[in-house]
Amino acid sequence: MSERRAVNRLAFGDFVTAVFDDRAALCLGTDISERGMFVRSTRAVDTDLGRWDGPVIIRFELPGDQRQLWACGRARRAGWGTDGPGTGIEFVYVPDDTLAVLRQYVDAA
């Protein structure tokens, strides 16, 4: 079975903050694209995040760049990523400056 993706994903491997349900959780972003991110965390957070039906704010930095970036998304699926269980976050709003940086990062890879 092959994957059909509208945009390329890149391995990420850095800590991100996911804010949802009036709390903030430290997660590990394992891959990223301009349309979303797959995050891993503790089992309790993954379970709660995977079931959360509201907005999720992801705050992160790209490797080699110290700018604080953010995007608003929604939990799209809980399951297995490239290196373990987690939650796929689909970005539903990305500020223009963050989107420009993400596109540059993806295009440079």
Name which of 40, 41, 33 is nearest 105 in CA terms: 33
What is the per-residue burial (b if ≥16 Cβ within 10 Å, else e) of 44-72?
ebbebbbebeeebebebebeeeeeebebe
Name residues whose C-beta falls within 8 Å of residue 109's C-beta, 6 or more positions apart in sequence.
8, 10
pTM of the predicted structure, to 2 decimals: 0.85
* Pairwise CA distance, residues 48 & 27, whole Å: 13
Amino acid letter, 11: A
Name residues whose C-beta falls within 8 Å of residue 80's C-beta, 6 or more positions apart in sequence.
86
One pLDDT digit (tens) per residue for the chain, 109 residues: 345 456 678 888 899 999 999 999 999 999 999 999 999 987 778 778 888 899 999 999 998 888 999 999 999 988 776 677 889 999 999 999 999 999 898 888 7
The three-class DSSP label of residue 95 is coil
- Domains by residue range for the chain, with CATH: 10-108 (2.40.10.220)
